[in-house]
């Protein structure tokens, strides 16, 4: 039996609603993400659980497997710092005419950048909805786009257009036409937070990359919004050269990376452990295995989350109903973490 959780599945995209939510790169998908309550599951009391019919047990376990595919978003230091800086910038930028400042979340793969960025967007959108309930119909407080691989300015502009649901662009339009149309819609919809993920796909070493950063500048200068970017090693890839320094000079940087085996790592594991919904799990087992888990995952939150969720699903499927060290040993983590482990040995 293979339990598969897509390694790079963005947190929050695997919902209890059988995972068929639209991707968050469209307005509909984004709104579904914002509206979705955190995953939850209440365990049945032992006696009722034991009395379930085979069919009911199957449905019950299916729902639990779904629950563990998502589990919880932990308020890690990254999530909190991105929320804090993002909130501050949206407040400051409201009064700013031209020199609006942005936020860059930079770090290796699966260190929680996308998760933190989307949480910032969700929190902001929920706040706007609470504050201006009467004027919501035509309002799009947050836009979330992903920089396309080998992205050209045209492709990026089209990502914005796609999010906003603009009609498909005909060949006759040039990039500036699309960007203008996008800007107009965003102005009308009073977008005030623009999230641009996977910004490392913007390659400043090529002419197209330079074009693209000009384009980002175009958007930032034409829209009274706060821009938050996330991507891999952005300070090394983007903050060099004249344009890179221009972007960086206007941005606050939040760095992400592997966790050291410290108090926050242990707290993270403890939080994940309390989110487990297993019938025979002995509380504290995972927390006591903090060093082991650090060795297995190289301190990467993505690998930790995968390992714990996959182990929980296995514990349900095989009926053990508990995560033990023996079970963890049988769950592979992603290749990058395994090779770090061997490299470190």
Ligand X SMILES: Nc1ncnc2c1ncn2[C@@H]1O[C@H](COP(=O)(O)OP(=O)(O)O)[C@@H](O)[C@H]1O
Q: Is 112 in the site for ligand X (CB under 6 A)?
A: yes
- Rank residues 197 and 210 by Cβ distance to ligand X and give the closer one: 197
Q: Is 11 in the site for ligand X (CB under 6 A)?
A: yes
- Rank residues 153 and 302 by Cβ distance to ligand X and give the closer one: 302
Of 213, 225, 302, 333, which lies in the binding site for ligand X, with binding defined by CB under 6 A? 302
Give, in order, the Cα–Cα distances in Å from 95 to each of 91, 101, 140, 226, 331.
8, 11, 19, 11, 52
Closest CA to 115 of 284, 203, 214, 230: 230
**Residue 66 interaction partner, one of ligand X, Mg ion, none, beta carbon < 5-8 Å per kind:** none
**What angle, 0 to 180 degrees and rounded to 10, lies between the N-to-C axes of helices 290-297 and 263-274?**
100
Closest CA to 142 of 75, 82, 227: 227
Of 90, 115, 175, 297, which lies in the binding site for ligand X, with binding defined by CB under 6 A? 115
Going through the chain in order, the beta strands assigned E by DSSP cover 102-107, 142-146, 193-197, 226-231, 251-256
- Rank residues 115 and 123 by Cβ distance to ligand X and give the closer one: 115
Give, in order, the Cα–Cα distances in Å from 309 to each of 34, 69, 224, 290, 345.
23, 6, 41, 15, 26
Of 85, 93, 106, 114, which lies in the binding site for ligand X, with binding defined by CB under 6 A? 114
Total site size for ligand X, rule CB under 6 A: 17
Of 111, 201, 203, 213, which lies in the binding site for ligand X, with binding defined by CB under 6 A? 111
Q: Write the interaction track for Mg ion spanning residues 110-149; mark x where CB under 5 A is met and - where it is not.
A: ----x-----------------------------------
- Under a CB-based contact definition with an 8 Å cutoff, are residues 223 and 187 in contact? yes
- Rank residues 271 and 324 by Cβ distance to ligand X and give the closer one: 271
Q: How far apart are CA 290 and CA 61, in angstroms?
A: 27
- Under a CB-based contact definition with an 8 Å cutoff, are residues 116 and 255 in contact? no
DSSP letter for 133, please.
G
Q: Is 202 in the site for ligand X (CB under 6 A)?
A: no
Residues 46-85 that bind ligand X (CB under 6 A): 73-74, 76, 79
- Rank residues 301 and 323 by Cβ distance to ligand X and give the closer one: 301
Q: Which residues of this protein are in contact with ligand X, per CB under 6 A?
A: 9-11, 73-74, 76, 79, 109-115, 301-302, 305
| Contacting positions for Mg ion (CB under 5 A) | 114
């Amino acid at each position: 039996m293979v339990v598969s959780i897509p390694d790079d599945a963005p947190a929050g995209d695997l919902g209890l609603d059988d995972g068929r939510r639209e991707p968050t790169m469209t307005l509909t998908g984004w709104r579904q993400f914002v509206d979705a309550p955190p995953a939850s599951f209440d365990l049945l009391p032992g006696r009722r659980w034991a009395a379930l019919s085979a069919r009911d047990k199957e449905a019950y376990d299916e729902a639990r497997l779904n629950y563990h595919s998502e589990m919880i978003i932990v308020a890690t230091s990254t999530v909190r710092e991105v929320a804090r800086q993002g909130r501050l910038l949206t407040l400051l930028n409201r009064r700013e005419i031209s020199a609006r400042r942005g936020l860059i979340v930079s770090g290796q793969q699966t260190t929680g950048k996308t998760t933190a960025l989307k949480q910032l967007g969700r929190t902001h959108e929920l706040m706007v909805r609470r504050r201006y309930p009467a004027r919501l119909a035509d309002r799009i407080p947050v836009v979330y786009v992903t920089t396309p691989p080998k992205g050209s300015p045209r492709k990026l502009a089209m990502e914005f257009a796609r999010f906003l649901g603009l009609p498909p662009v005909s060949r006759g339009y040039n990039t500036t036409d699309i960007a203008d149309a996008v800007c107009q819609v965003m102005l009308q919809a009073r977008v005030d937070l623009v999230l641009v993920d996977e910004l490392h796909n913007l390659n400043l070493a090529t002419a197209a990359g330079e074009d693209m950063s000009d384009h980002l500048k175009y958007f930032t200068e034409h829209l009274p919004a706060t821009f938050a970017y996330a991507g891999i090693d952005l300070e090394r890839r983007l903050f060099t050269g004249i344009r890179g320094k221009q972007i960086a000079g206007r941005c606050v940087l939040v760095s992400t990376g592997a966790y050291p085996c410290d108090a926050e790592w242990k707290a993270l594991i403890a939080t994940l452990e309390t989110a487990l919904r297993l019938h025979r799990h002995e509380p504290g087992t995972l927390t006591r295995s903090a060093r082991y888990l650090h060795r297995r995952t190289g301190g990467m939150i993505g690998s930790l989350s995968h390992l714990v969720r996959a182990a929980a699903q296995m514990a349900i499927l095989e009926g053990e109903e508990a995560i033990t060290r023996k079970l963890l040993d049988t769950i592979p983590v992603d290749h990058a973490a395994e090779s770090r482990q061997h490299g470190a040995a």
